[in-house]
Structure 1
Amino acid sequence: MFDFPSVAKLGHVAARKRDGDAVERVLSRQDFATSRAEITQWQGYQPTPLVSLTALAAKIGVGGILYKDEGPRFGLGSFKALGGSYAAQRLLQRQISARLGHEVSLEDIRTGTYRSEAAEITLVSATDGNHGRSLAWGCQRFGAPCRIYIHAEVSEGRAQAMRDLGAEVIRIAGDYDASVILAKQEAADNGWFVVSDTSWEGYSQPPRDVMAGYGVMTQEICDSLEQAPTHVFLQGGVGGLAAGVVAGLRQHWGTQAPRVVIVEPELAACLFESGRTGEATTFAIETETLMAGLSCGEPSGMAWEILSEEVSDFLTIPESLVAPSVRLLARPLPGDTAIEAGESAIAGLAALIAAREDADLSRKLGLTAEARVLLIGSEGVTDPAIFAQIMGESDAA
């Protein structure tokens, strides 16, 4: 059974690309090399699977679909394990070096040489779940206190996962962007340090470190391929994942790098609006999307520098595609590997399938029978209760 809506209206904006060198300037090759050298030394590191969905590709009429399954990443269920934890390690390295008056290495932080010093440095962030879990995990490993700010719609299961990693979790009544504001304010008032995956004026190093950490995932993909994909469909959010992946792909493949398509929920479409206006644009979120990790109303300025030069198309998808996409991966077509994915992981898959149902949109995106599409399965089952509900909806029907 192909459990997928036969008709779904996608929003589409063709990008107005700027000229520039952001893929080398914002995230340098050295940034990626440093993160790779360190993260591959972490206990439990191993590359995550790159799964070929051959039967699905044949079903929708493309040459291939590759799905990078980040569910197994360090036991945290998300690609974010590469970002928040690494940015925490880098921040502790910088702060302890400054306090002691001599250079401290990343290895020193990893092995706990300065654990007592780390215990005096509180790290904070706002999150929809996965970034906060990564930061909490890193703080637990490196010995630093951690405070995580979450908004009203973050599930209790995700909140408890962060508490289980030693974080103090503060839930607010507002949305994600309100939690970002509060985290910044309380950090400034108390001498704490924000480890965010989004940048703003005067704040850029931790978001750069977060995106550099994501480069480990991109390099794993490139190392396993002999030929570049023709397309990569990347979920939005603040843009950090997309920018990190795009920069890594461009640095590796050069002019042969894949066409970049950004996908967002129509309920949280800040990058789509930025693509439409040609500049970083805030989107007013009125209703929360089921894709909790993508519920972001304000783009990261640093990420937008890269995306404004590299993205070809912006798409939005309706909520009606989320649950069927999760179920399609978990109960795949015969011959394909079953994958248990979270709600935010399936944005690219949902958009790809729906786009192939629309001949005009397929033409605009350059999706042909020869297209080889890369998808980033950004999370596994990070909230079992939500996953069980989604899977049960089909059974009930």
Structure 2
Amino acid sequence: MTEWKPPQLPARIFINPRLSPAEESLAAAAPGVVDAEGFARAAAAIEAWPGYQPTPLRQLDGLAGALGVARIAYKDEGGRFGLGAFKAVGGAYAVLRHLQDKLGGNVTVADLIAGKYRARTTDITVCTATDGNHGKSVAWGARLFGCRSVIYIHQGVSVGRERAIAAYGAEMRRIPDNYDASVRACARDAARNGWQVISDTTWDGYREIPRHVMHGYGVMMGEVLAQLLPREDITHVFVQAGVGGLPAAVAGYLWLEQDALRPKIVVVEPEKADCHFQSAKEGKPTAVTGKLDTLMAGLACGEVSPLAWSLLDKASFAFMTVPDEAAVFAMKTLAQGVGGDPRIVGGEAGVGGLAGLIVAATDGDARRALLLDANSKILIIGSEGATDPVLYAQLVGRRPEEVLAAHEALTI
């Protein structure tokens, strides 16, 4: 892709009629989802993990000019703890909190990493269902803190992602159905065997661990606010949704930090896995069924997390869907670097928000509906890098190492 020319692709947009008014507090609008204390505790723990460092917030000025907006800031999570995705700060943090609660007393991060409680933690098993990145985070956290993990994947998860999770010592179980079926299989086996589910979605009687996951995601937003240029406001956030934990954490963090000045949250989904879009239209959690065979496998979820939805229903300015082609174009856009922009490796599920922005900004009706103009300052959460390098190369036409090498050459 030498000349940057965005294709005309279809998108559905639903402006949320239930958006809370600016003067309403998060505690009043969506109580018990996320809170400042939970975000602060997660940040303190995660920043003490070996290898922690903030991921970069990259300025895409060339792309902003091409799309007719003032600024685009891209939070590049591809290097997070070497796992390649933002999920590292969610699932692994929930594993930590579970072990601390299970062991009791004043069990520290340092003690667990040092193996002080290994005689007890080796008898503890955590499990989860995943499209890839969340399972890798749980498996990595289990290895880091000294317990056993069992990870459930569905038929749409690539072999490359399966091997990447197994590399952290997890026992892998593949379910011949979709993501939501793997969630149910995981919950059933956990109840039978006395394991602890570490999920990023909620159901009746299961809320606290997904809250830990969302609080862990808040680390990203704390970094973003520290990395923004002085007096740099954000008017819009385009963020992709699977079950909803990521956009809920983003929206909740910004609501707490910026209150009435919070930006417009646009939740983006694949058109073939649009449970948030359908839930927004119906005004209640609404499942979508079938194979959910989107290329954006990490977003192939048919049911919203009820807890996350209770916040997104009040915090989201709009919901939109994009076709798979939009994600591939966004990946190529990042790899090329428009107008001298840094060259970035973005995975197919991680670029959903950027895909939504490109489609919306180049369509007159969508642009007007989302109130995008020359003064708009956009935040994009680039939630993964090339978590499946083989698939990335097939889609982009370049290996991730080549893209990174081209970026390094530009910065020398």
TM-score band, normalised by the shorter chain?
over 0.9
Q: 2:271·2:321 contact (CA, 8 Å) conserved in 1? A: yes
Distance in 1 (alpha carbons) for counterparts of 2:62 and 2:136: 34
* Equivalent in the alignment of 2:408: none
* Equivalent in the alignment of 1:212: 215
Distance in 2 (alpha carbons) for counterparts of 1:40 and 1:215: 12
Distance in 2 (alpha carbons) for counterparts of 1:91 and 1:231: 35
Residue 333 of structure 2 is aligned to residue 328 of structure 1: yes
TM-score normalized by structure 2? 0.92
Residue among 202, 206, 214 paired with 2:205: 202
Q: 2:327·2:351 contact (CA, 8 Å) conserved in 1? A: yes
* Equivalent in the alignment of 2:82: 75
Shift of 1:25: 3.4
* Equivalent in the alignment of 2:170: 167
Deviations along 1:21-54, one digit per CA (max 9) or x if unpaired, are: 3566321110001000110010000000000000
Shift of 1:252: 1.2
* Equivalent in the alignment of 2:365: 360
Deviations along 1:138-176, one digit per CA (max 9) or x if unpaired, are: 001111010000001100000001111000010110000
Counting matched residue pairs gives 390
Q: Which amino acid aligns with 2:361?
A: R
Shift of 1:254: 1.4
* Equivalent in the alignment of 2:18: 17
* Equivalent in the alignment of 1:150: 153
SS of aligned partner of 1:71: helix
Q: Which amino acid aligns with 2:142?
A: C
Bigger drift between 40-49 and 3-12 goes to 3-12
Residue among 49, 71, 87 paired with 1:64: 71
Gap change, CA 1:153 and 1:204, over 3 Å in 2: same
* Equivalent in the alignment of 2:246: 241
Bigger drift between 102-111 and 350-359 goes to 102-111
Q: 1:4·1:325 contact (CA, 8 Å) conserved in 2? A: no
Distance in 1 (alpha carbons) for counterparts of 2:263 and 2:30: 14
Distance in 2 (alpha carbons) for counterparts of 1:25 and 1:230: 26
Distance in 2 (alpha carbons) for counterparts of 1:264 and 1:287: 11
Gap change, CA 1:68 and 1:393, over 3 Å in 2: closer
Gap change, CA 1:218 and 1:24, over 3 Å in 2: farther
Distance in 1 (alpha carbons) for counterparts of 2:30 and 2:217: 14
Q: 2:70·2:375 contact (CA, 8 Å) conserved in 1? A: yes
Distance in 2 (alpha carbons) for counterparts of 1:2 and 1:200: 47
Query: Considering only aligned residues, what root-mean-square deviation do their CA atoms show, in Å?
Result: 1.5
Q: Gaps spanning 5+ residues in structure 1: where? A: none
Distance in 1 (alpha carbons) for counterparts of 2:301 and 2:292: 11
Bigger drift between 385-394 and 40-49 goes to 385-394
Shift of 1:204: 0.6
Q: Which amino acid aligns with 2:237?
A: V
Distance in 2 (alpha carbons) for counterparts of 1:76 and 1:286: 27
* Equivalent in the alignment of 1:48: 55
Residue among 15, 32, 36 paired with 2:43: 36
Deviations along 1:199-254, one digit per CA (max 9) or x if unpaired, are: 11100111000000000001000112233300000101000000011111111111
Q: 2:285·2:306 contact (CA, 8 Å) conserved in 1? A: yes
Residue 137 of structure 2 is aligned to residue 130 of structure 1: no
Q: Which amino acid aligns with 2:200?
A: D
Q: 1:24·1:251 contact (CA, 8 Å) conserved in 2? A: no
Correspondence 1:106-121 to 2 at 5 A: 106-121=109-124
Shift of 1:110: 3.7
Correspondence 1:223-372 to 2 at 5 A: 223-225=226-228, 226=230, 227-372=232-377
SS of aligned partner of 1:154: coil
Shift of 1:324: 1.5
Distance in 2 (alpha carbons) for counterparts of 1:381 and 1:323: 13
Q: Which amino acid aligns with 2:65?
A: A
TM-score normalized by structure 1? 0.95
Distance in 1 (alpha carbons) for counterparts of 2:41 and 2:125: 24
Distance in 2 (alpha carbons) for counterparts of 1:95 and 1:334: 52
Q: Gaps spanning 5+ residues in structure 2: where? A: 21-25, 400-412
Residue among 69, 85, 92 paired with 2:92: 85
SS of aligned partner of 1:66: strand
Q: Which amino acid aligns with 1:260?
A: I
